[in-house]
A and B are shown apart, each in its own frame.
Chain A
Amino acid sequence: MGANLSTVASVLALISALAAAVAAVLRLRQRRAIATDAQRATYQVLHTAGMAAEPLRAGLDRVNAAKAVRHLRTLVGAPGLALVGADGVIALDGRGAHHNAQLAAAGERAIAQHRSAVLGESDLPCDRVDCIVRGAVVAPLTGADGASEAVLVAIADGQPAPGLVQATLETARWAAAQLALAELDSSRDRLARAEVRALRAQISPHFIYNALTAIASFVRTDPERARELILEFAEFTRYSFRAHGEFTTLAEELRSIDRYLTIERARFGDRLQVRLQIAPEVLPVSLPFLCLQPLVENAIRHGLSRKPGVGMVSIDATDAGAECHITVEDDGVGMDPATLIAGMAQAAAESDDSGQHVGLSNVDERLRSAFGDQFGLVVETALGAGMKVSMRVPKFHPGVRA
């Protein structure tokens, strides 16, 4: 067993030696990259600015401001630095915390007047013996529209030197640019959310028209069936027009497809056959609402309705570890892949509902926006060979839940 002990010791020694080697290589590379003092200074400024940029880009709340102000003070080189908003000091780093009220007042003035100011000793009276605050530079963070939401106040331990004024103004300008970028980020997020909302699932107008004409044909001959169909249609629209939630479960989606197919069967009769092979393990998977029904509709419209005789639509869902694989396949006329690609591109460019492939590209985009770009639709087709549309759905994705 002594041999075992030495084995453990040697493994541990090997691991620590490797770690030490990696650390040494990293340090050496860092050192080699910086040759002169000027380079080092540039590197340090950029590095500090980068550290400050991260919290600034997240917006000006107290936690982020406190993180940013620490690095900004290094950039300015003042004994104290405060970020002041319209309603008081947001964050302060270094000395001068007991001047909060005066700093807030100065900040408020600067925001109202949109201009920077230098405060002298007389502007900052203090009865503390050990107070080092002798002056301050107030620089507003001016946004793109000329208005400013906050000001940067650098505290000086003497009459503010021109160098400090310059540094504070430049730092304020840089920080204002970062805040503008933060604004841009958040508006981009809002835009993306609006796009997702606009991408909302829609049932096709063709289907509503076809369903109503099919039901109309039964009203005289078979009123009972017509009534049932109308009820199915009502249930289907209730699901499709529901207001809450972007996501649903595979089980729910299948139930809605069942209603949809009941109505389509009224049109096609025995010509339409359906084969299902669903692994029960994946029924709880969450997926974008109404992302399967358009594929089935597509299979019927482009596959079966242009073909004589019986047509088969198969829906398969299999369990694949952390993902679920779903395919919708028809044995219809198929199409030339080039036509399909051109049609999809056109549909994407025009975002127009009358296109033949709106269903497919809409589902594709919604899948990508929900799960990421690697989870788009895969279409396999050729003239006369039917069409198979497959998708992969991860069983868990943060933010996706029915």
Chain B
Amino acid sequence: MINAAHNPFVIPTVVLMTVATVAIGFYGLRLARTTSDFLVASRMVSPAWNAAAIGGEYLSAASFLGIAGLILKNGVDVLWYPVGFAAGYLALLLFVAAPLRRSGAFTLPDFCEMRLGSRRLRTLATVFVVFIGWLYLVPQLQGAGLTLATVTGAPYALGALLVCVVVTANVALGGMRAITFVQAFQYWLKLTALAVPAIFLVLVWNADGRPSPVDGLTFPQATVVTIEHPATLTMTDGSVLTVKAGDELTFPAGAAVPAVAGMADGLDWLLPGRGGSLFGTYSLILATFLGTMGLPHVLVRFYTNRDGAAARRTTLVVLAMVGAFYLLPTIYGALGRIYTPQLLLTGDTDAAVLLLPSAAIGTGLGGQLLAALVAAGAFAAFLSTSSGLLTSVAGVLATDVFGRGGSVHTFRLAAVAGGVIPLLLALNVASLDVSQVVGLAFAVAASSFCPLLVLGIWWRGLTAAGAVAGIVTGGGAAVAAVLVTVLGPPLSGWPAEAVAQPAAWTVPLAFTTMVLVSLATRRHLPGTVGATMLRLHAPESLHL
């Protein structure tokens, strides 16, 4: 197996990136914003900076590592992941961005209280914010463990533990506040870390005579593959070989890559609809399109916008920035089939992005530097996302669970509590794909907060009872599906599909329940609904 352990640049680069991030967090404000000029001091964050900051928090380990791995393994069907992750901002732009900013809410529970005035709903929203936050934190820690294991050979658990401790300590001590500058820096770092090696990779591929990623895959050099998950291989001569974890296979340079059962091969990889089912695809589209608006760490950033119009402009810029970013993992996934085909056999496809530079460009100085850059980008991805998530989770825990007006001490306590649980989960779900777990977090968000936000903003008839019922039914069903996927036994047939990609049935369920229960409890409409709706939809310039 090609290993980056011999790369002397990886660890210094990662350490440098981490230290720089933490240092900017602690000292950035003092350097950037100390002035005696009020005009400078009262300048709001511009939509471009805001958008870069949202991108910085949003592009997680799943985007950075997971998508390339999925494309390598499953082909064009999973292109819906990057499309959906970006297009979620379209739904956010159309339905939520400006009214949410006008509501003045900082977190989702704030929005519930402002729109429906119910403490019970606020508590329920808090529970879901914490759950989604934790579920989203798990793949970040997973990615951290994987990255550290790939670049240094350390055990998986150590990497997850290390990153969890760094992030928790940093959040608890106040280093990773929602500082726009730090997060914007992270976005550009991540983009650079994928874009620069991608240019070189494409040049190398061109120089190699543009080999096809579809079929005729061969090992570019002599390779020893250590199998990590049991698999059934079909060799090129037609013989079938069943391997189990721990087996070692040796392939000479130029040997054809055997086909692995359960992974897209040949034309299946290239053509849509061959691998996944239609239901799964629609589920994924619904979850990612509608889930983005329910992510707690994304929504808090909208508060920083000057007004509703600025919030909309910010979302538009995010759409462009995130869309540009998602072109890159696709390139890595396709080239990964040519230069790191052994990952198909080991099942460790999430490592494709990390291994590709040294595999394709070689272990010379250039290849090593590019590999170090990618590793630093990966660390930036889960440091920024998990800090943003942990800050949000600890924030709602501190205000809504440990009591409002809590001190710095309660926030620290909440940060530790918020960090430990996803770590425990991350250590137990090592076998799941990073993107799959993120997909589940999106499904829960889409079946709980999306109906609440969309109906809350666009329908006067929503009542607190309806909102509670919808979140409990739809969100609860999605949570149950997640728990069965993560902890339960393996299923087969349609239950497996309905549970692995629940959004296609839980989202309509949540919407229907919310509407029906609201209609049934029409008498309990909040009396202030007219004023609230006016506030959500009237432009600020009217000064109502």
Contact = CB atoms under 8 A, between A and B. Distances in A.
A398 B178 contact: no
A280 B45 contact: yes
Contact of A258 (B38, B303, B408, B490): B38
A276 B395 contact: no
Given A278-B41, A396-B107, A5 B304 contact: no
Contact of A254 (B29, B41, B178, B179): B41
Contacts of A308: none
Given A278-B41, A279-B29, A375-B405, A284 B303 contact: yes
Given A1-B489, A2-B489, A321-B394, A281 B106 contact: no
B487 A283 contact: no
A277 B29 contact: yes
A90 B110 CA distance: 36
Taking residues whose C-beta sits less than 8 angstroms from the other chain, chain B's interface range is 35 or more
Nearest to A12: B483
B541 interface: no
Nearest to B44: A283
Contacts of A320: 174, 177, 408
Contacts of A276: 33-38, 40-41
B117 interface: yes
A304 to B, nearest CB: 15
A283 B43 CA distance: 8
B44 A251 contact: yes
Interface in A249-291: 250-251, 254-255, 257-258, 261, 273-281, 283-284, 286
Q: Which of A251, A280, A375, A394 has the most CB of B within 10 A?
A: A280
B530 to A, nearest CB: 16
Contacts of B523: 63
A187 interface: no
Nearest to A285: B303
Nearest to B34: A277
A278 B44 contact: no
A5 B489 contact: yes
Q: Which of A258, A261, A275, A278 has the most CB of B within 10 A?
A: A278
Interface string B461-504: 00000000000000000000001100111100000000000000
A396 B394 contact: no
B488 A275 contact: no
A396 B104 contact: yes
Interface string A380-394: 000000000000101
B180 interface: yes
- Judged by DSSP, the binding face of A is mixed
Given A251-B44, A255-B38, A280-B45, A396 B110 contact: yes
Contacts of B305: 284
A157 interface: no
A7 to B, nearest CB: 7
A321 B44 contact: no
A283 B38 CA distance: 12
B29 A283 contact: no
Interface in B28-56: 29-30, 33-45
Nearest to B32: A280
Interface string B90-119: 000000000000001111001001100100
B488 A319 contact: no
A114 interface: no
A319 B36 contact: no
Contacts of A27: none
Given A258-B38, A278-B42, A284-B305, A4 B178 contact: no
Given A280-B180, A321-B394, 17 more contacts: A1-B490, A250-B42, A277-B33, A277-B41, A278-B33, A280-B43, A283-B43, A283-B44, A283-B45, A284-B304, A319-B177, A320-B177, A322-B106, A372-B404, A374-B405, A394-B405, A398-B113
14 contacts: A244-B543, A251-B42, A255-B38, A261-B38, A273-B36, A276-B36, A280-B43, A283-B43, A320-B408, A321-B398, A392-B405, A394-B405, A398-B113, A401-B535
